Structure 1
Amino acid sequence: MEWDPVLGRAAVVHLISGASFSTFWSYAGVWAIEALGATTGQVGLMFLLSAVLSPPAAWLGGFVSDAVGRRSVLVSSTGLQSLLILALCLVGHSAAWGITLVVVAGVVWAPGRSAVNAVVADVTPPERHDQAYAALRTANNLGVVVGPPLAALLLFLGDWTAFLLGIAVLGALTCGLAVRLLPRDGVRRHRGGTAAGTARVVLTDTSLVLLLVATLLGFMVYMSFETVLPVVAVTSFGFAPETWGLLYAVNPMVVLLFQMPLTRWTRTWPPSVTLSLGVLLMGPPFLLFLISHHMAAVVAVVLVFALGEMLWVPTMQATVARLAPPHLHGAYLGGYTGSQLLAWMIAPLTGLRLQEALGERAVWIFFTALSAVSVLAGLAAVRRRHRTPTGGSGGRRTDHRDRGDAPRTDDRAGSPRSVRPVPSPENAP
């Protein structure tokens, strides 16, 4: 892959933010219970509110980044979250204030996620989107690997205050690197375009809607590995929590080592094949648990699941990015990020409720079925995209008002020129 300097800088920013904020969210519940004296019910409410409010914030952030620029949204999002985490040092033992600040911190970071995804689409050509998103994902997983030991070190050297200060400092570092490394935002707004017109394009693009359905269902399967399997492994399989922790650690390490090589090896595959195979390697392997709960069965599922997610996640991001008109990368990828965050909420609610009502066998059948529906939605989206001559319109012809563009006028003669999209400064030759 021909490496773009801006992509490399975005990967560095993503690595630091992954190490800081993912670590914070891993410990947020424990912090609330130990430092604030919050109940488990209050912690559950904290995560629920954050999960409900974050998806629309992510989508809105994508729209805003199309208008004001990626760097502005990322810096504002990251900087504000760092300040909110710093403010947690001052709440004392007030569970209400602490939980409120954590929820707001989760909401304000969501637009930053959309902005980072849009940066990748801006700086790489469509044929390299898969490898670019794989590189970004590798950087994020490196941050996830580094983050927990760093948090443990902060807690060992100090207390919860030291932990929060360390996370806030890393957030400030992310903010500073974004200012220093990412391109300066130009004026991205398109003359004559309106927010309503942009929203109409996005919401009436049938290919995008199908892709977002596939994304939501696929990420529900993904989140079942992250949130449901740990609970079932400890409560039903009889694994000790530390045993599951060691097994789970295999996943980010595999992704870190093999994400880029696997993406290179499969770069000539059609997206429909990669998407379908990827999600089918994530869901159906859970059916092995209908037969065995042995350690070997769990290790096999962990490894096959890692292979599936390495195929599916960057390909889905790239497919959404290629579908988007260049000046709407933020809006389209904001929808992708919002679907991902929505799945984070729905998967544990449905999976754990199924376990309680029908037993853990129903859980694996349910998530396998979701993977099959995700395949169908993804194939329908890709097929429709290939049949549609102009992407981003869902098969219908759009005028300049729908695209957010205006007829350009010759200043000397006052006569309309031919209507054409106005490229954003970051994509201009």
Structure 2
Amino acid sequence: MHLAVRRPQSWTTSSLVLHGQLRRSREDADAAREAGRRAGRQPVRRLGVSGVAERVLGAPVPAGLRPLLTVTALSVAGQWMLTAYLPIYAVTQLPVTTGTAGALLAGAMATGLIVGPVGGRLADTVGRARVLVAGLVLQTAAAALLLVAPGRTTPAVLAATLLAIGFTLRTTGQNTLAADLSAIDDRDTVFALLRTAVNVAAAAGPALGAALLVFDWSLLWAGSLSVSLLALALVRRRPPQPSLPAREGPRCPRPDGETDARTDPASLSVPGEVPGDRRSALGPDNRRVAVALAASVLAWATYNAFEIVLPVATVDVYGLAPSTWGLLFLLNPIGVALLQVRLIAWTSWLTRAGRLLLATSLMGASFLLLVVTHRTIAIAAVVLAFTAGEILWGPASQALLVELAPPRRRGTVMGLLSSAATAGAVITSAGGLALLSRGGHVLTWCSVAGVAILSGLLFRLAARATTHPGATPQSSTCRN
């Protein structure tokens, strides 16, 4: 007997409902354009936030996903109001040396390596929404601590630690919720929309922080506290259901042309999991999960070469003004906001393995242009090429790990992915700048390119048996 999977219709709307919303939104938009063309007039443009967002992003935003995107954008903006300026605050406002400040902040950042797996396990047991809320609470506490204890080293280090732990918990919760919301053939699009919200907020947060910092550090911390409290109020007002997803069955056609995810009583258990056995591992694909996580560490190390090493090289090695680098960096968030969903759609013909190999190769090989020339136009070309690779890599790598993980262990895998991101940042912070200062920029960029290509090969190995990202896998168990 085959049953349609049903989940609570709230924030965590079932993946089938979200899939239907995406499909119907595209069909309605196409029908409106066709009707307008036949009538010899332009189609009526929708007004409002959703209409503007659709035109900017290049895809409709399903109603079931909007609350998660809103909370994510607010929480990321509040986080980056702290993250972008905390190192400057530590160096200029605390009674410590620059080296000591760097060591203290690196130690605080490293806590994410430990918290990631714990947060992922909690997402699988107590619920994704509660982990998301816990991360927001810690982020809010970090801003409050900086506000009430200005210029003191111990509270600042504690705030940095709370921020790192809160970031790991929040990203684990939001990524797992996005995975639960997405259908098999919509995951790349859903993660692309989520990543767009993150990147736009990560650019808006520091900009708002800069405006507040003109007046006082306390006003900056108060602004971050206010934005974080607003995000916390929204997620508490419309909390997601904490229920765990059942195992997804094959995508089966219905007589009306839609699709159902079918399951049977046997599929309610996770592959490789003994019912009732809490000690079960990730499942039969745990080796491929490990390979994908190793690839993610290397990919995040490459990503942080763009955020950490390239700015230093641009200013200290190539002699550009910091303001010039700031303008060049703006090409990245603008490109992500405008092209994230569109580029995913344009490359939908690629397999996920091919997309990941292309993405990481673009990210790493783009730096090799600086071996030949480091003129301003060349640095701009590096930023654009890297942005294209980043756009392809982010959603595809997250979707790959979701497909490899058993549904009831998604939180664990997303927690490990958060730890992988932290590990990549630590590796680049510790080794990238040291290599630049001791080995020179040529050796640095060649090393970054090598790490990126190795990451792509590992992704390809992990994704060798996954389906085409746009395919709809079916099974002989499908019956009308």
TM-score, normalisation: structure 2: 0.76
Q: Secondary structure at the match of 2:64?
A: helix
State the distance in 1 between where 2:291 and 2:161 align: 30
After superposition, the Cα gap between the structure-2 partners of 1:92 and 1:204, relative to the gap in structure 1 and judged at 3 Å, is same
After superposition, the Cα gap between the structure-2 partners of 1:275 and 1:45, relative to the gap in structure 1 and judged at 3 Å, is same
Which structure shows the higher helix fraction? Answer: 1
After superposition, the Cα gap between the structure-2 partners of 1:53 and 1:379, relative to the gap in structure 1 and judged at 3 Å, is same
Tell me which residue corresponds to 2:204. Answer: 146
User: For residues 17-32 of structure 1, what are the structure 2 equivalents within 5 Å?
Assistant: 17-32=75-90
Q: Secondary structure at the match of 2:373?
A: coil
State the distance in 1 between where 2:347 and 2:315 align: 36
CA contact (8 A) 2:245 2:407 kept: no
State the distance in 1 between where 2:309 and 2:454 align: 20
Tell me which residue corresponds to 1:241. Answer: 322
Q: Which of 296, 307, 311 does residue 215 from structure 1 map onto? A: 296
State the distance in 1 between where 2:171 and 2:415 align: 8
Letter matched to residue 168 of structure 1: L
How many Å apart are 1:274 and its aligned residue? 0.6
Q: Which of 222, 227, 230 does residue 173 from structure 1 map onto? A: 230
Tell me which residue corresponds to 2:176. Answer: 118
Tell me which residue corresponds to 2:213. Answer: 155
Q: Which of 227, 235, 240 does residue 183 from structure 1 map onto? A: 240
Q: Secondary structure at the match of 2:450?
A: helix
Letter matched to residue 151 of structure 1: G
* RMSD of aligned alpha carbons: 1.9
Q: Secondary structure at the match of 1:65?
A: helix
CA contact (8 A) 1:85 1:102 kept: no
Q: Secondary structure at the match of 1:229?
A: helix
Tell me which residue corresponds to 1:336. Answer: 417
Q: Secondary structure at the match of 1:352?
A: helix
Tell me which residue corresponds to 2:135. Answer: 77
TM-score, normalisation: structure 1: 0.85
State the distance in 1 between where 2:424 and 2:166 align: 18
The alignment covers a number of residue pairs equal to 382
CA contact (8 A) 2:113 2:423 kept: yes
How many Å apart are 1:144 and its aligned residue? 1.7
Q: Which of 51, 74, 86 does residue 16 from structure 1 map onto? A: 74
Letter matched to residue 279 of structure 1: T
Deviations 1:97-156 (A, max 9, x none): 322322232123311111100001101112111000000011111112211221122223
| Stretches of structure 2 lacking an aligned partner (at least 5 in a row) | 1-21, 24-60, 247-268, 270-274, 468-480
Deviations 1:350-402 (A, max 9, x none): 1111122211111001011101211211111112557xxxxxxxxxxxxxxxx
Deviations 1:250-303 (A, max 9, x none): 111110111111112222321011101011110012111111111111111111
Q: Which of 25, 28, 34 does residue 92 from structure 2 map onto? A: 34
Q: Secondary structure at the match of 1:6?
A: coil
How many Å apart are 1:322 and its aligned residue? 1.3
How many Å apart are 1:203 and its aligned residue? 10
Deviations 1:294-314 (A, max 9, x none): 111111111111111101111
Q: Which of 343, 346, 354 does residue 435 from structure 2 map onto? A: 354
CA contact (8 A) 1:62 1:333 kept: yes
State the distance in 2 between where 1:283 and 1:292 align: 16
State the distance in 1 between where 2:296 and 2:388 align: 17
After superposition, the Cα gap between the structure-2 partners of 1:175 and 1:315, relative to the gap in structure 1 and judged at 3 Å, is same
State the distance in 1 between where 2:83 and 2:135 align: 16
CA contact (8 A) 1:155 1:163 kept: yes
How many Å apart are 1:172 and its aligned residue? 1.1
CA contact (8 A) 2:124 2:244 kept: no
CA contact (8 A) 1:68 1:187 kept: no
Tell me which residue corresponds to 1:389. Answer: none
How many Å apart are 1:91 and its aligned residue? 2.1
Letter matched to residue 329 of structure 2: Y
Question: What fraction of aligned residue pairs are identical, expressed as a percent?
Answer: 29
After TM superposition, the structure 1 stretch with the greater mean CA deviation from structure 2, 224-233 or 201-210, is 201-210
Q: Which of 71, 86, 106 does residue 144 from structure 2 map onto? A: 86
Letter matched to residue 116 of structure 2: A
How many Å apart are 1:56 and its aligned residue? 2.3
Deviations 1:33-88 (A, max 9, x none): 33334321232113211232112212211110110111111111101220232022
